[in-house]
A = this chain, B = another copy of it.
């Protein structure tokens, strides 16, 4: 059972949000709040919930055995120390393990564990579905359109080709 319908709060009349009406960053930031919360709910209990990065990390480690923390950090837009703590957490949960790279002994290589791989399977189902569901009121073609544009933005930001 879910929380009681969360009472439809006050119905604000016709409000105009000023210049933000035409400010892309405003929409990104606002929608981020809503979609992140919704995602957290769906991931409840899956020790990959809360905060950005765990999901991406899990999938990347699963796909690229031996990948280095700093590579992931860069892709999830965190600094190395934040990344380190994130890995501590996930390692603590038994999702992955680190080894020191034979090539460069200050670097690490990350490897998925069984538990991690199992979780990755679930994640691959839940996460895209959550996104589709959440944005289901946007026609599919428009969703894809937005995604194609934002994908370029993301890749540009993190410097992917």
Could you show 6 A-B contacts with beta carbons less than 8 Å apart? A15-B71, A20-B59, A22-B128, A25-B135, A26-B131, A137-B156
Q: In chain B, what residue has the closest Cβ to A131?
A: B25
A36 within 8 A of B: yes
Judge if A93 is at the interface, Cβ distance under 8 Å.
no
State whether A18 touches B124 (Cβ < 8 A): yes
Residues of B within 8 A of A12 (CB): 71, 74-75, 159-160
Q: Oligomeric state, in number of copies? A: 2
In the complex, whether A112 has a CB less than 8 A from a CB of chain B is no
Contact of A153 with B by CB under 8 A: yes
Given contacts A33-B77, A157-B34, whether A60 and B17 have CB atoms under 8 Å apart is yes
Further contacts, 8 of them, CB under 8 A, given A23-B127, A25-B135, A32-B32: A9-B74, A12-B75, A17-B56, A21-B151, A23-B131, A29-B36, A30-B52, A137-B152
Complex CA–CA separation, A68 to B9 (angstroms): 13
Secondary structure dominating the interface of A: helix
Contact call A147/B17, Cβ cutoff below 8 A: no
Given A16-B63, A160-B15, the answer on whether A56 and B26 have CB atoms closer than 8 Å is: yes
Across-interface contacts of A146 in B (CB, < 8 A) = 24, 145-146, 149-150
Kindly identify which residue among B17, B33, B156 contacts A59, using a CB–CB cutoff of 8 Å: B17
Docked-complex contact A28 and B150, CB < 8 angstroms: yes
* Closest Cβ–Cβ distance, residue A19 to chain B (whole Å): 5
